[in-house]
Amino acid sequence: MKIRIATRGSELALAQSRWVASELEKQGVTTELVIIRTQGDIQLDKPLHEIGGKGLFTKEVDRAVLQRQADVSVHSFKDMPVEDEPGLVLGAIPRRASSRDVLVRNENGNGVIGCGSLRRRAQVVRLNLGYAFSEVRGNIHTRLAQMLDKGWSGLVVAEAALLRLGLADSYTYEVLDILPAAGQGALGLRIREGETDIAELIGGLNSAADATAAYAESRFLQALGGGCSLPAGIRSEISGGDISFIGGVFSVSGVDGVVKKKSGSIALAARLAQELANEILSGGGAQILDKMVQ
């Protein structure tokens, strides 16, 4: 059987899709990558929060599956809308990579760090590291090159990106004590609804625990009423039959923030995450988010 995999053309997206292809090939499946250029890849002259939220990097890739140009789409789960596109279903969330954010260091830099995420920027400000910020877009290699070319002191990125691209040993970096994006480090694989043969193959890549955590985190973000550009983060941890969450909402300036924790049975993960979001909203988070749209 041959499975065509729809993917963005960035080096990270290709690395993720090639990993999926290699896992399928272990099952004796022939694979082919179908590269799709998305709106998020085209509009590089504006910050992400100005041009759209979830779906910015996924809609065109999913459309290729709907139009039968491909059989499965591979996404960074944090970029995916919570609800599936009509005609598509979530086929698997494979084992998750690191969800942590890190600061890649450039020694003897100019006191500026590259950071294109409101969530990251708001929380890094709260760490009082003393850096100024510069907006940055593009794939991970482009951003790392900008850091060096412009003499920045560092660049804030997802550790999963460095690991998946084999760059973790090429740069010095430190883990930041900030809350990651919902679903960060996880992949989401979408397939056409009702195609049982493909569903069985793709479903074999699913990690039940990672899928439960990532899905619950996405429900947290949905309950806050925002997309991936919202300055909100959540971290989950599974221990035995229990799951614990720590989530937060932050003002863009980093001055204000509401952080709360929630834990309970993993069977109730999605409900717990939604309850956590509601507690954050009622505890001052709603006021922070309201100021963003005024």
List the catalytic residue out of 54, 121, 228, 260.
228
List the catalytic residue out of 8, 54, 78, 190.
78
Residue 8 known to be catalytic: no
Residue 18 known to be catalytic: no
Residue 177 known to be catalytic: no
Residue 143 known to be catalytic: yes
List the catalytic residue out of 79, 101, 121, 126.
79
List the catalytic residue out of 119, 121, 126, 262.
119
Residue 190 known to be catalytic: no
Tokens representing residue 33 in the block: 């990558």
List the catalytic residue out of 8, 54, 120, 190.
120
Residue 119 known to be catalytic: yes
> Any residues with CB less than 8 A from the CB of 142 and at least 6 apart, and which?
none
Residue 228 known to be catalytic: yes
List the catalytic residue out of 96, 137, 219, 235.
137
Catalytic (active-site) positions = 78-79, 119-120, 137, 143, 228
